[in-house]
């Protein structure tokens, strides 16, 4: 049977519970802008009813804490999408830097021309002009000057690509140390969570862990596996262990063939990380795939032009009546040793314009047959089965298509990240309207409970005075 | 239904996007160029390289063709003068051969023909910008010289048989010179110098071996025909060059139009897009300002 005393106890419990709930709401409002904070809702529990003499009487309410509003599956999907988006975003930045080196030439007259394509055209055209007067010094000089413009532009582009590659290398190494500090923090959080909250959501600790995971997803492609007692293991997308519950494994870097490679426990996992995603994946894809592709096209172009033009010049007779020999070759360009690196090393070796062999072998110096042959190299498939200008044209188309493709991918991935982010925010971030409503509700119930308390007080006084007007009130 | 409370942040990123758009469009408008990076139009960028290549080739050919036309014209006019000199020599020889002249008149004709021989030799050694144009590839030394140590005298050729060609953009080759030996020292009775030297010898003594002199005169006539034929080759080159050059100019004009169409910004379209982007930006700014100024949380309604 219920008593006034038990009603007192019940209602003071309700007041306590309301206070606790109010402080949960206050905490939500306070953390409304804290990164990684998830909104918490107060947990209410009905106290066990008391059965006295076969009659069951309610025993009020308790506030048993707060629950974070979190959807781990949604967060994991968000992280995965983030890995893809940041990989393509990083790669896109690198590709944009690359394509800036090959800006399309809008001018149509040779005077305003400036890109490598125009350089190639001008170089071979200078031989066509030389056909008209093979002994003219000005025309010979213009062959050498157009050759040095071509060599300068190709080697300049190659040098810029190389320095971009070095910069990407450094950025990638920087990412490794950030990954290590995040995996260290996650391992530590794992230990705390496993000891304090093995069975339930760990609240603010879980917030921190999720925040670290989201940052880690920006950097590198990962898989996460939940283990017993609310622990977490993290592997790279290809399965190498980064965090195993309470311990983490350091990603180390080392130089292999002049570039930085990444190791985990002595195993070189660079190629796995490249395809894995995250910023690191983007840096490595640009460094190991996009830049080498572009460089190899330029190398082929430089190597073929240098070698073929040198050979052709060497087989003719120059203005002094001299023909090239093995010991004293008549080379216009530095003869490349190997295809790789020939773009960076492209340079004009000839200084005396008289050494341009416009005349055929053994012909008089007024002959132009070798100049005709050199000019016609422009129309021959000397670069990998293509003419030099066609090779350059398909090179710029390919590079442009790659940039466009990555750009499209990146846009789609970012849209998907935004969508998932919106879903996640809708669930987990603090909505001030909700908090205001909760505050209002809590306020009313607190006021109601205190009102009940006051009334109980009056009732108690009446009981003590047994209906008489007396001192107790 | 729950909503994302940070939707204003999303609106701001839309605003950023609109501004990026406007920036790109206005830079297209100010530069007049529609493709400023390869990824904007990868296929067009490749096409542009090829178009520029052809345009520049045509441009360069037009310049070269102006250069060589001068040389061809000098060669042509030299051969024209040679032809009139030879015509004169033939009429002198014909008058000497009719048997009515006395010895001193014959000698005088011999001297005149010898003068013509010198004149023709000078013409055969014509140079253009320091290069001998009838010397084949050996353009640095005068190709013809006559020795009178023997009788008849002998004119020798120190040039070679080299022929230069200019390749026009469609791959066709135009002949730029005819070796002097083919014009002046052609085989058989086509040799200009052979016939002239013989005639000089025929009239040197004042007595004429009529049969020999008539035959030598006929040889000179044949040689003159040969010179005219060789001249036709050069004339053909001049005509060929001029038509190739105007064809190249026409093609260049067409290609330039195509290239301009490809690379130039379509001003009306870009302007329309820019104005749309501006409208979008204004709308977004208004929405954000509205959301900002009206207190968008219930807290402001709760009375303390």
Q: Is residue B155 part of a domain?
A: yes
SS3 content of chain B, % helix, strand, coil (to 5): 70, 5, 25
SS3 B273: helix
Nearest to A355 by CA among A119, A137, A70: A137
Residue B215 has pLDDT above 50, yes or no: yes
Predicted pLDDT of residue A407: 95
Q: Do A117 and B52 touch (CB under 8 A)?
A: yes
Do B302 and A115 make contact, defined as CB atoms within 8 angstroms? no
Mutate to test the interface with A, among B53, B75, B248 (most CBs of A within 10 A): B53
List A residues 344-383 in contact with B (Cβ-Cβ < 8 A).
359-360, 363-369, 372, 375-376, 379
Give me A114's structure tokens: 């400036």
Q: What are phi and psi of B168, to 5 degrees?
A: -90, 160
Q: pLDDT per residue over A181-199, tens digit each?
A: 999 999 999 999 999 988 8
pLDDT band at A109; cut points 50, 70, 90 = very low
B34 found inside a domain? no
Measured distance CA(A383)–CA(A165) in Å, rounded: 25
- Copy the structure tokens of residue A469: 């007007």
pLDDT at B293: 59
Q: Per the CB < 8 Å rule, is A398 touching B42?
A: yes
Range of the domain at B105: 51-259
* Gap between the Cα atoms of B233 and B240, Å rounded: 10
Q: Work out whether strand B131-132 and strand B127-128 pair parallel, antiparallel, or are unpaired.
A: antiparallel
Number of domains in chain B: 1
Residues from chain B that touch A435, judged by Cβ atoms under 8 A, are: 299
B45 contacts A396? CB cut-off 8 A:
yes
Partner-chain residue, chosen from A104, A125, A427, that has the shortest CB–CB distance to B48: A104
CA distance A125 to chain B (A): 6
The angle, 0 to 180 degrees and rounded to 10, between the axes of the packed helices A291-314 and A116-132 is: 10
Give the pLDDT band of residue B209 (cuts 50, 70, 90). confident
State the pLDDT confidence band at A107, using cuts at 50, 70 and 90. Answer: low
pLDDT above 70: percentage of residues in chain A: 96
- Residue A159: C-alpha distances to residues A114, A151, A363 (Å): 18, 12, 41
Contact A366 B139 (CB under 8 A): yes
Q: Does A290 touch chain B (CB under 8 A)?
A: no
In a domain, B20, yes or no: no
Q: Residues B66-82: what's their mean pLDDT?
A: 92
User: What mean pLDDT comes out for the span A84-88?
Assistant: 95
Asked, for residue B272, whether it belongs to a domain, the answer is no
Collect all residues with Cβ–Cβ distance below 8 Å to B43 and sequence separation of at least 6. Answer: A397, A400, A401
Q: What is the mean pLDDT of residues A72-86?
A: 93
Q: Which helix (H) or strand (E) holds B227?
A: helix B210-263
Contacts of A95 in chain B (CB under 8 A): 39
Determine the 3-state secondary structure of A61 from DSSP: strand
CB atoms within 10 A of CB A70: 19
Contact list in B for residue A136 (CB cut-off 8 A) is: 129
Q: CB A401: neighbour CB atoms within 10 A? A: 16
Residue B303 has pLDDT above 80, yes or no: no
The residue of chain A with its CA nearest to that of B70 is A132
Looking at beta carbons, which residues of chain A come within 8 Å of B49?
A: 104-105, 115, 117, 389, 392-393, 396
ipTM for this prediction: 0.85
User: Band of the pLDDT at A472, cuts 50, 70, 90?
Assistant: low
CB contact under 8 A, A436 and B298: yes
pLDDT score of A473: 60
The pLDDT-based confidence of A470 (bands split at 50, 70, 90) is: low
3-state SS assignment for residue A317: strand
Mean pLDDT over residues A402-416, rounded? 95
Q: How sure is the predictor about A464, in pLDDT bands with cuts at 50, 70 and 90?
A: confident
Q: Mean pLDDT over residues A436-449, rounded?
A: 91
Residue A311 has what pLDDT?
A: 93
Strands B165-167 and B154-157: unpaired
Chain B contact probe: residue of A41, A106, A122 with most B CBs at under 10 A: A106
Q: Which residue of B44, B64, B298 is in closest CB contact with A129?
A: B64
User: Are A109 and B59 an interchain contact pair (Cβ–Cβ within 8 Å)?
Assistant: yes
User: What is the rounded average pLDDT for all residues in chain A?
Assistant: 90
- Ranking A32-36, A107-111, A277-281, B142-146 by mean pLDDT, the lowest is A107-111
Tokens matching residue B225: 């025909």
The residue-averaged pLDDT of A128-155 equals: 92
CA–CA gap between residue B232 and residue B226 (Å, rounded): 10
Residue A339 to residue A394: CA distance in whole angstroms? 19
Is the CB of A403 less than 8 angstroms away from the CB of B39?
Answer: yes
How big is chain A, counted in residues? 473
Give the minimum alpha-carbon distance from A33 to chain B in angstroms, rounded to a whole number: 10
Closest alpha carbon within chain A to B170? A379
Residue that has been written with the tokens 């969570």 in this structure: A193
Which 127-166 residues of chain A touch chain B by CB within 8 A?
Answer: 128-129, 131-136
Q: Which residue of A has its CA nearest to B133?
A: A366
Contact A135 B42 (CB under 8 A): no
Say which residue the tokens 């004119």 belong to. B155
Q: Please compute the mean of the pLDDT values over residues A142-154 and round it to a whole number.
A: 93
Round to whole Å and give the CA distance between B195 and B198.
5
Cβ-Cβ pairs closer than 8 A, A with B, add up to 223
CA distance B37 to B45: 8
Quote the CA–CA distance of A392 and A301 in Å, as a whole number: 8
A352-371 pLDDT, tens per residue?
A: 999 999 998 888 888 999 99
Does any domain span residue B304? no
B38–A396 CB contact, under 8 Å: yes
Question: Which residue in B38, B140, B158 has the most chain A C-beta atoms within 10 A of its own C-beta, making it the best mutation to test that interface?
Answer: B38
Over 60: is that where the pLDDT of B294 sits? no
**Residue B45 is assigned to a structural domain of this protein:** no
Q: State mean pLDDT over A108-120.
A: 66
Cβ partners under 8 Å of residue A291, min gap 6: A94, A98, A161, A164, A165, A168
Restricting to A residues 426-455, those with a Cβ less than 8 Å away from any Cβ of B are: 426-427, 429-433, 435-437, 439-440
User: Are A38 and A428 contacting, i.e. CB atoms less than 8 angstroms apart?
Assistant: yes
- Domain holding B72: CATH number? 1.20.1330.10
pLDDT band at A446 (very low <50, low <70, confident <90, very high): very high
CA distance A336 to A155: 13
Is residue A261 within 8 Å of A271, Cβ to Cβ? Answer: no
- Best B52, B166, B170, B260 member to test A by mutation, with max A CBs in 10 Å, is B52
Q: At residue A111, does pLDDT exceed 60?
A: no
Chain A: give the shortest CA distance to residue B220, in Å.
30
**pLDDT above 80 for A110:** no
Note whether A363 and A369 are within 8 A (CB): yes
Task: Name the pLDDT band for A112 (thresholds 50, 70, 90).
Answer: very low
What Rg value do the Cα atoms of chain A yield, rounded?
A: 39
Please state whether A230 falls in left (phi above 0), alpha (psi between -120 and 50) or beta.
Answer: left
CB contact under 8 A, A432 and B259: no
**From the CA of A467, how many Å to the nearest CA of chain B?**
39
Domain boundaries, chain A: 4-69+430-465, 78-416
Length in residues, chain B: 304
Q: Quick one: pLDDT at residue B298?
A: 79
| 3 state DSSP class of B130 | coil
Residue A242 DSSP one-character state: E
Of the candidate ranges A160-174, A324-338, B4-18, the one whose mean pLDDT is the lowest: B4-18
Q: For a pLDDT cut of 90, what percent of chain B falls above it?
A: 55
Highest-confidence range of A247-256, A398-407, B164-173, B182-191, by mean pLDDT?
A398-407
Residue B1: the pLDDT is 62
Q: What does the pLDDT average to over B173-185?
A: 92
Residue where the block lists tokens 């050694």:
B125
Quick check: pTM over 0.90? no
CA angle B148, B154, B160 (to 5 degrees): 135
Q: Assign residue B119 a region: left if phi > 0, alpha if psi is -120 to 50, beta otherwise?
A: alpha
Of B31, B47, B68, Cβ closest to residue A132: B68
Portion of chain A with pLDDT greater than 90, in percent: 68
């Amino acid at each position: 049977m219920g008593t006034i005393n038990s009603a007192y106890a019940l209602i003071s419990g309700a007041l306590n519970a309301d206070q606790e709930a109010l402080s949960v709401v206050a905490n939500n409002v306070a953390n409304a802008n804290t990164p990684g904070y998830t909104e918490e809702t107060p947990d209410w529990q009905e106290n066990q009813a008391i059965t006295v003499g076969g009659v069951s009487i309610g025993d009020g309410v308790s506030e048993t804490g707060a629950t974070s509003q979190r959807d781990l599956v949604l967060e994991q999907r968000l992280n995965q999408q983030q890995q893809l988006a940041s990989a393509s975003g990083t790669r896109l930045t690198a590709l944009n830097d690359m394509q800036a080196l090959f800006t399309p030439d809008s001018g149509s007259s040779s005077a305003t021309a400036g890109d490598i394509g125009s350089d190639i055209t001008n170089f071979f055209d200078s031989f066509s002009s030389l056909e008209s007067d093979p002994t003219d010094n000005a025309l010979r000089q213009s062959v050498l000057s157009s050759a040095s413009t071509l060599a300068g532009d190709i080697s300049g582009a190659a040098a810029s690509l190389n320095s971009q590659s070095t910069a990407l290398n450094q950025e990638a190494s920087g990412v490794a140390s950030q990954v290590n500090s995040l995996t260290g923090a996650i391992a530590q959080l794992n230990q705390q969570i496993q000891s304090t909250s093995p069975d339930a959501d760990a609240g603010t600790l879980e917030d921190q862990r999720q925040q670290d995971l989201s940052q880690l997803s920006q950097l590198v492609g990962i898989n996460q596996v939940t283990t017993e007692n609310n622990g977490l293991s993290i592997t790279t997308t290809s399965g190498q262990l980064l965090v195993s519950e309470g311990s983490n494994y350091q990603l180390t870097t080392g130089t292999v063939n002049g570039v930085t490679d990444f190791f985990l426990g002595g195993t070189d996992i660079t190629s796995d990380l490249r395809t894995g995603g995250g910023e690191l994946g983007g840096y490595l894809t640009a460094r190991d795939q996009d830049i080498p592709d572009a460089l190899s096209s330029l190398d082929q172009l430089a190597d073929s032009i240098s070698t073929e033009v040198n050979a052709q010049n060497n087989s003719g007779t120059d203005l002094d009546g001299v023909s090239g020999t093995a010991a004293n070759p008549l080379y216009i360009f530095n003869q490349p040793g190997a295809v790789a690196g020939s773009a960076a090393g492209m340079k004009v070796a000839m200084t005396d314009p008289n050494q341009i062999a416009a005349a055929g072998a053994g012909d008089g110096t007024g002959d132009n047959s070798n100049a005709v042959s050199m000019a016609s190299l422009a129309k021959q498939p000397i670069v990998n089965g293509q003419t030099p200008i066609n090779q350059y044209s398909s090179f710029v188309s390919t590079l442009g298509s790659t940039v466009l493709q990555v750009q499209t991918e990146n846009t789609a991935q970012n849209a998907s990240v935004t969508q998932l982010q919106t879903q996640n925010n809708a669930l987990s971030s603090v909505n001030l309207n909700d908090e205001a409503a909760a505050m209002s509700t809590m306020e009313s119930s607190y006021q109601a409970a205190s009102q009940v308390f006051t009334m109980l007080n009056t009732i108690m006084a009446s009981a003590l005075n047994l209906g008489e007007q007396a001192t107790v009130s | 239904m729950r909503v994302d409370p940070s939707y204003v942040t999303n609106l701001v990123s839309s605003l950023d996007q609109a501004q990026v758009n406007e920036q790109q469009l206005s830079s297209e408008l100010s530069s007049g160029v529609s493709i400023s990076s390869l990824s904007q139009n990868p296929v067009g960028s490749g096409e542009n390289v090829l178009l520029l290549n052809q345009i520049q080739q045509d441009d360069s050919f037009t310049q070269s063709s102006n250069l060589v036309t001068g040389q061809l014209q000098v060669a042509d006019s030299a051969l024209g003068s040679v032809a009139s000199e030879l015509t004169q020599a033939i009429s002198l020889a014909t008058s000497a051969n009719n048997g009515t002249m006395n010895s001193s008149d014959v000698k005088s004709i011999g001297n005149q023909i010898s003068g013509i021989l010198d004149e023709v030799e000078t013409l055969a050694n014509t140079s253009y910008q320091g290069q001998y144009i009838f010397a084949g590839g050996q353009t640095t030394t005068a190709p013809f010289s006559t020795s009178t140590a023997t009788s008849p005298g002998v004119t020798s050729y120190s040039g070679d048989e080299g022929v230069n060609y200019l390749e026009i953009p469609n791959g066709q080759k135009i002949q730029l010179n005819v070796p002097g030996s083919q014009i002046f020292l052609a085989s058989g009775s086509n040799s200009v110098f052979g016939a002239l030297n013989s005639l000089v010898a025929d009239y040197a003594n004042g007595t004429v071996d009529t049969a020999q002199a008539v035959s030598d005169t006929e040889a000179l006539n044949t040689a003159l025909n040969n010179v005219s034929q060789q001249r036709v080759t050069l004339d053909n080159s001049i005509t060929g060059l001029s038509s190739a050059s105007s064809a190249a100019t026409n093609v260049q004009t067409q290609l330039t139009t195509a290239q301009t169409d490809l690379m130039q910004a379509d001003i009306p379209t870009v302007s329309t897009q820019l104005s749309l982007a501006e409208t979008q930006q204004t709308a977004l700014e208004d929405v954000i300002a509205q959301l900002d100024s009206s207190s968008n949380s219930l807290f402001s309604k709760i009375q303390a």
